[in-house]
Structure 1
């Protein structure tokens, strides 16, 4: 499990140390809390490691907080940002919000408001990570099939509904064709024409999609996930999973759980 990192950027030593102390007392060692005295140092830190939450002053010598935010955005570093400032000029707040800042705190900052802002930022960071995982889990070809399904002929729509209900069970083309009252050969042609995947490819992709969801959302064993996804043996499931995803189910789970938390 990776430790989340909070980076505090402020040119005033007393201010940044005070923020760090407040967050250390609140977090009880759950987060790595780093300090930077200026924007240059902060950018160097973000080049070397992922920063989940960035707390930065607006007015700093050489490179301002706003300029730093523009720089890291251009370089695709995307921490959740909280801005702190002794200045309440509206243009600063406006510019900060345009750069994706989620909170704008004025000095002197109360400990309660600081902790509340960081807690909100942590929730946003977790939601981002989970959204990223979902985007990795989703199979583009299945998305296309789902979109196509909305305009597919009724027998194919019924076939997909039947597949969904019986994904865990053994499925074959003849059985599904019989269910929608079509000749198996005609059903095969119609399915490919409407869904843009063969029947067997659709079943495989849908089962692996289901398995990926279980891998990141449950603690089920690989053998149980194989069974839940319609595979008789874990060995065969692992083989098919690796062919489609390029890694084993265990490796997939490890990588994505670490990213999520």
Structure 2
């Protein structure tokens, strides 16, 4: 697991070191606190190290804090950090531009210890939420999401079948078994499910199992054989074959490619 990092960018040594000391005590070793005296040095760090949060002064010689944030948003760096901007001037124009650049907090100097820590905690929390949303969106199966969005329009038997799949994802699930549970014959249940979900029941089960497998691949370090078993597949060979059909790559390749991207910190 990579270390978590907060970057402070301020051309005033006293301000920069003061914030660093406050945050080092607060972090208690859970975050590495790095500093940069200008925007150029900050960009070099950001291009080399994934940074969770950047705290930057707005008024700096050369590259201003706002220009620095704008450059970060335009670049494909390892991670887009949450940002807190600090200014000694309460100028509305700064605040406006900060909002447009998706800056999480805008503080006025001198910021108290309590205000700085509260802002850092809020910014880190907001960053985690955005990262999780982006992660889930990237991993999600669009066709499963479409069914979820139309939940209110589904009939009771179809909804019950979907709930059953959720509760028994680690088991082998057959159409006939589920049709019996919802008190319909297999043929009618199959037609009803396909009509309402735009896919047949066996495809839905496969997609939902693979969705669960993707979650396990990224959120755990479980062996692929165990993940296959936990999603109801008796053989790894069949699990790998099905996964590749739907995802275009093997489970191992999927895990590596996603973890080497923006989701590298998922545990």
Q: Shorter-normalised TM-score: what interval? A: 0.7 to 0.9
Aligned to 1:64: 64
State the shift of 1:249 in Å. Answer: 6.3
Aligned equivalents of 1:219 and 1:76: distance in 2? 27
Q: Name the counterpart of 2:50.
A: 50
> In 2, are the aligned partners of 1:241 and 1:249 still within 8 Å (CA)?
no
What is the CA distance between 1:56 and its match in structure 2? 0.5
**Structure 1 segment 1-261 matched on structure 2, within 5 A:** 1-75=1-75, 78-214=80-216, 225-233=227-235, 236-237=238-239, 240-241=242-243, 243-245=245-247, 246-248=249-251, 252=255, 255=259, 258-260=264-266
Moved over 6 A (4+): 218-221
Most deviating of 144-153 and 221-230: 221-230
Q: Aligned-pair distance for 1:181?
A: 4.5
Q: Does the aligned pair in 2 maintain the 1:129–1:260 contact within 8 Å? A: no
CA 1:162–1:104 in structure 2 vs 1: closer, same or farther (change >3 Å)? Answer: closer
Cα contact 1:149–1:195 (8 A) shared by 2: no
When structure 1 is superposed on structure 2, of 175-184 and 12-21 the one drifting more is: 175-184
Give the deviation of 1:203 after TM superposition.
Answer: 0.8
CA distance in 2, matches of 1:154, 1:176: 13
Count of residue pairs the alignment pairs up:
261
Structure 1 residues 132 and 163: CA distance shift in structure 2, 3 A: same
C-alpha distance in structure 2 between counterparts of 1:111 and 1:146, whole Å:
45
TM-score by length of 2: 0.79
